[in-house]
Structure 1
Amino acid sequence: MATMEPVLELAAKYRSEFEETINGLRQRSLTIGQAVQEKVTTSQQQFESVQPQINAKKEELLQTLQNMEPVAKLQHKSVMETFAWAGVLNTGSFVGGILGSVFLSSLIGLFFDTFPALLLAYVFLPVMVFAQ
């Protein structure tokens, strides 16, 4: 019986430690729950206070989008030039992407290893372009 006493003491010690830990977790969870509830309440109050402004902006946006009247003083030439240049730039980007990824990468790979090519692409070339 004397040999079981240290085991029982150790079990009692573990039990008290577990109970303390569980009680601490309960207290923290209650505190966190209260803090979350307060945040939810304040967030709902803030949302309710802003809701009329949101509704007003929503109605204004809907009226603007549903308005089918012709736009006054619209410069059709400028709009068409903008769209034309957007098409040209997109085409140039596409062709440049293909040329850069297929042809120039293999050509640069002949002269440079990976790290110098990385420095060239991300440091030296942008600095040179910015300096011009």
Structure 2
Amino acid sequence: MAIHMKYSVNLGGEPGVMSSSIHHMPCQIHADGEASVSKYFKPYIRKQDGNEDVLCASFRGYPLMGKIIPLPQGYRGIVAQENVKPMTEGAERNIHVMHTFTSFTYWNWDKPPCQNDALLSALDWVDVSEVLHSTTDESNG
């Protein structure tokens, strides 16, 4: 059975830009909403000795290693919120963009992020997709 849903994205003016305040953590947290990242997490982030690109921190006693990942040129991420959940599956949904970002901090447990990580290798597909869908003029004249 196919389900068709309509999404309306309301920018409501220019959303606030969050530079590197977005974190992708290797865990599942059963909560939605804002967190006091700068109060409880950011002061404990430090650069790894000998490697300026790798960041170190810990979350609930577990070591984390991370890296700031820029989004591909011409792209930006969004943080969206749905204020009213639909009552039925086919109902129209309104999603509001709260913030945008151009980079995020990607964290792994006790190993530096690398291109073999699923999320980072997925970002490579943006470049592949642009090449596949671009039009080229191969005339030699």
Normalized per residue, the structure richer in strand is 2
Q: Same fold (TM over 0.5)?
A: no
Normalised TM-score (structure 2): 0.17
Higher relative contact order (CA 8 A, sep 6+): 2
Normalised TM-score (structure 1): 0.18
